[in-house]
Amino acid sequence: MQLSNSQDRYGILSIALHWLVAALFLAMLAIGVVMTRLPLTDPLTFPLYQIHKSIGATLFFLMAVRLVWRLAGGVPDLPAGLAPLESFAARTTHAGLYAILLVMPLTGWVVVSASPFGIPTLLYGVVPLPHIGFVETSPDKATIETAASWVHTVLAALGAALLSLHVAAALWHHFIRRDDVLMRMLGRGRIHSPETDREMHSWKE
Ligand code: HEM
């Protein structure tokens, strides 16, 4: 298994980061929805917020590594033979997910920094995450908190929608188009694609 990406394969680091980010993103959506619906007095609310902030900061770090790795090493080409609209949809969904996963932690950090409660954040109970100074001291804290909270929630809904589209597309590639898009993100080799199927047929004839 290779470490870095090539034109037709993902390296082990890209594959590991992809599935780790996917699992953490799903967990964050669930934790976010649950914690914001619990009463403030519930004994689970405070720990859930702390876990949410800890995993959120981790996700930001993982996404930054993913982005640098992708920019430095490139990614495998999209499968040949996709219609221009399909390629456009794939690139837009990927860019949207990257943007959301990088911006969401920042908006969450703004919400926490502008909160009137001023609760300190200790990531995983160990690493202190300071509040953003100019947000914490701003006279417009309340407005900033409302706006950042709104953006955070809208991005969560948009992220969930893009994730569903992304999963549906992966299944379409695998079961309908029968190419290797899903398999190569599982670290497996090429199965078949319309192109390889054609080659196989012409070889048999
Ligand atoms: C990719 C990372 C993140 C995801 C997917 C995510 C997801 C969510 C979701 C789904 C909610 C519930 C929204 C609602 O139903 O109204 C939420 C709320 C919240 N999140 Fe995050 N979050 C992320 C990162 C962060 C980070 C890093 C922080 C803080 C450092 C944070 C702080 C908060 C706070 C304070 C709330 C409740 C306040 C509010 O928006 O009303 N989040 N998050």
- pLDDT over 90 for what percent of the chain? 83
- pLDDT over 70 for what percent of the chain? 91
Q: Report the pLDDT value the prediction gives residue 190, as an integer from 0 to 100.
A: 58
- Give 194's pLDDT tier (boundaries 50, 70, 90): low
User: How many whole angstroms from 155 Cα to the centroid of ligand 1?
Assistant: 9
Q: Is the pTM of this model over 0.85?
A: yes
Average pLDDT for 74-91 = 93
Neighbours of 117 (CB within 10 A): 6
Q: Report the pLDDT value the prediction gives residue 14, as an integer from 0 to 100.
A: 95
What is the tens place of the pLDDT at every residue in 35-59? 999 999 999 999 999 999 999 999 9
Query: Phi and psi at residue 121, in whole multiples of 5°?
Result: -110, 130
Annotation: CATH topology of 12-204: Fumarate Reductase Cytochrome B subunit (1.20.950)
Q: Report the pLDDT value the prediction gives residue 200, as an integer from 0 to 100.
A: 38
Q: Count the alpha carbons within 13 Å of 153 in the hemisphere toward its beta carbon.
A: 12
Closest-lying ligand 1 atom to the alpha carbon of residue 105: 27
Q: Report the pLDDT value the prediction gives residue 203, as an integer from 0 to 100.
A: 35
Q: Report the pLDDT value the prediction gives residue 201, as an integer from 0 to 100.
A: 42
Q: 115: helix, coil or strand?
A: coil
Residue 76, pLDDT > 60, answer: yes
Average per-residue pLDDT for the chain: 91
**CA 105/CA 58 separation, integer angstroms:** 9
**Residue 59 Cβ < 6 Å to ligand 1:** yes
Query: Phi and psi at residue 66, in whole multiples of 5°?
Result: -60, -45
**Residue 100 Cβ < 6 Å to ligand 1:** no
What is the tens place of the pLDDT at every residue in 123-160? 999 999 999 999 999 999 999 999 999 999 999 999 99
Higher pLDDT residue, 58 or 8? Answer: 58
**Residue 51 Cβ < 6 Å to ligand 1:** no
User: How do the domains of the chain map onto residue ranges?
Assistant: 12-204
Higher pLDDT residue, 198 or 29? Answer: 29
Structure tokens of 37?
Answer: 């619906």
Closest-lying ligand 1 atom to the alpha carbon of residue 153: 13
Residue 20, pLDDT > 80, answer: yes
Residue nearest to atom 41 of ligand 1 (CA): 149
